[in-house]
């Protein structure tokens, strides 16, 4: 029976990622990438599932992204730009496969992890055989909606709170009251048990600055009086195309990411499989892990 391993993985460019993994090394590799304000532990159920021989017997690994848990946390905001985050993942993939040229079997990502995965798949399509995205907007549709759709601008207004210099202090107040609200305000929270809360507290107690620096480093946020945000950004089509077989799972009750974000997605992703979940929220990985496992199994064959 597979077990969850925990270890620190140094990478050649000086970053160390704390990782959770299951399955034998040398098997085809699946990499799972978390979002905000989460951590690698959210994937444990799926790591164990896909490490089982009857479910593919994969080598499954979930890194804590830089700035999270015990991973390296550079102090400069610029260290959290997309190119550095992509470099972390491609370096980890090379360690796990034993070669910078051998593709992994699949990259599975949610939220901020998906933002990195979209970039990686665009820049390094030969490094992965399959891509799976769970409620993480493609940069092309996200930019479009942030520029022109007041509904998306309002839904993403929290981003401008997260870039405040005092955001760390405010989020930590009253036993992380505002962070718990990210779960309860963006959908159901039946899964948010005391045991799960303890796991989250351990991650957040390690520090919040790194995770907030993702937002500070990104221009993809609603415009304000003092900052044009997405309104000042133009991205060429070549930076947005993904030529990899891609599964997008979209929970339709996501309060932060409305369904308009999947409109026109096939313009950027020609090999697209889109699955919508009518009753799912942004926290679908917690809410319906067996559904995610079933959809991923069909995609990975």
Specify the 3-state DSSP secondary structure of 251.
strand
| Residue 86 belongs to domain with CATH number | 3.40.50.1820
Say what the pLDDT of residue 186 is: 74
- What are the pLDDT tens digits along the chain (301 aa)? 789 999 999 999 999 999 999 999 999 999 999 999 999 999 999 999 999 999 999 999 999 999 999 999 999 999 999 999 999 999 999 999 999 999 999 999 999 999 999 999 999 999 999 999 999 999 999 999 999 999 999 999 999 999 999 999 999 999 999 999 999 887 667 899 999 999 999 999 999 999 999 999 999 999 888 888 888 889 899 999 999 999 999 999 999 999 999 999 999 999 999 999 999 999 999 999 999 999 999 999 8
Residue from 108, 89, 91 nearest 50 by CA: 108
Burial readout 190-208 (b: 16 or more C-beta within 10 A, e: otherwise): eeeeeeeeeebeebbebeb
Say what the pLDDT of residue 71 is: 98
Task: Check: CB of residue 22 under 8 Å from CB of residue 13.
Answer: no
Alpha-carbon distances of 123 from 37, 114, 235, rounded to whole Å = 26, 14, 14
DSSP letter at 126 equals G
Q: Is the overall model pTM greater than 0.95, yes or no?
A: yes
Say what the pLDDT of residue 61 is: 98
Say what the pLDDT of residue 188 is: 62
Q: Which two tokens stand for residue 297?
A: 């199994």
d(CA 27, CA 104): 10
Burial readout 235-244 (b: 16 or more C-beta within 10 A, e: otherwise): eeeeebbbeb
Query: The domain containing residue 21 runs over which residues?
Result: 5-300
Domain count, the chain: 1
């Amino acid at each position: 029976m597979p077990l969850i391993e925990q270890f620190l993985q140094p990478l050649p460019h000086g970053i160390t990622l704390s990782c959770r993994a299951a399955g034998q090394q040398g098997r085809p590799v699946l990499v799972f990438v978390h979002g905000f304000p989460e951590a690698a532990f959210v994937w444990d159920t799926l790591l164990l599932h896909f490490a089982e021989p009857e479910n593919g017997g994969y080598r499954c690994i979930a890194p804590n992204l830089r700035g999270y848990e015990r991973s390296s946390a550079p102090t400069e905001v610029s260290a959290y730009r997309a190119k550095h985050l992509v470099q972390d993942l491609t370096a980890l993939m090379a360690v796990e496969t034993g070669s910078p040229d051998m593709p992994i079997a699949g990259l599975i990502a949610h939220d901020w992890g998906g933002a990195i995965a979209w970039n990686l798949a665009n820049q390094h399509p030969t490094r992965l055989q399959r891509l799976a995205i769970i409620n993480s907007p493609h940069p092309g549709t996200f930019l479009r909606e942030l520029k022109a759709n007041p509904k998306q601008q309002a839904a993403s207004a929290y981003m401008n709170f997260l870039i405040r210099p005092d955001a760390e202090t405010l989020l930590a107040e009253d036993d992380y009251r505002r962070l718990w609200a990210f779960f309860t305000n963006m959908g159901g929270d039946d899964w948010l048990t005391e045991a799960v809360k303890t796991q989250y507290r351990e991650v957040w107690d390690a520090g919040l600055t790194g995770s907030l620096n993702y937002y500070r480093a990104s221009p993809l946020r609603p415009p304000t009086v003092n900052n044009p945000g997405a309104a000042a950004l133009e991205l060429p089509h070549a930076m947005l195309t993904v030529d990899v077989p891609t599964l997008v799972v979209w929970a339709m009750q996501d309060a932060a990411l409305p369904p308009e974000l999947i409109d026109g997605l096939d313009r950027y992703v020609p090999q697209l499989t889109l699955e919508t979940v009518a009753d799912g929220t942004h926290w679908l990985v917690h809410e319906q892990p067996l559904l995610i496992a079933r959809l991923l199994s069909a995609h990975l064959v």
